[in-house]
């Protein structure tokens, strides 16, 4: 999904296909059942250097469209904490490693 937002005089494009996915909601349960809706968390690096966090609200229900909602860094941290993922225990030096591991599909710090 793609959306455009304005930051000051800069136009930024949020694209779920290109931005870093920090959390992807499950689509299937182990027994093959499917979830009907969920929220995914993304991080976009704006051209100004600012980090933009946003949620993708998705649904497989007919007549329900996907939406993007920009959120603060604090709300993104809370979103992750509610799902058992804690990044505040990571030092600034290790932050780049965490982002890299997330890009390769690792989900929680305990997996490292």
User: Could you report the per-residue pLDDT of 41-77, keeping only the tens digit for each?
Assistant: 999 988 778 888 999 998 888 888 888 899 998 899 8
The owner of tokens 């709300």 is 75
DSSP letter (8 states) at residue 103? H
**Model confidence pLDDT, tens digit, residues 2-44:** 677 666 667 778 889 899 999 998 877 767 777 788 899 999 9
Residue-range domain boundaries for the chain: 2-111
List the strands of the sheet with 67-71, edge to edge.
20-23, 37-45, 51-59, 67-71
Q: pTM of the entire structure?
A: 0.68
């Amino acid at each position: 999904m793609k959306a455009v937002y304005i930051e000051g005089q800069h136009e930024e494009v949020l694209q779920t296909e290109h931005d870093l996915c920090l959390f992807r909601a499950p689509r299937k349960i182990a027994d093959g059942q499917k979830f009907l809706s969920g929220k995914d968390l993304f991080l976009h690096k704006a051209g100004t250097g600012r980090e933009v966090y946003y949620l993708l609200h998705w649904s497989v229900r007919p007549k329900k469209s996907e939406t993007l909602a920009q959120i603060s860094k604090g709300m993104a941290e809370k979103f992750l904490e509610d799902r058992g993922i804690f990044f505040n225990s990571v030092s600034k030096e290790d932050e780049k490693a965490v982002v890299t591991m997330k890009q390769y599909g690792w989900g929680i710090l305990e997996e490292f």
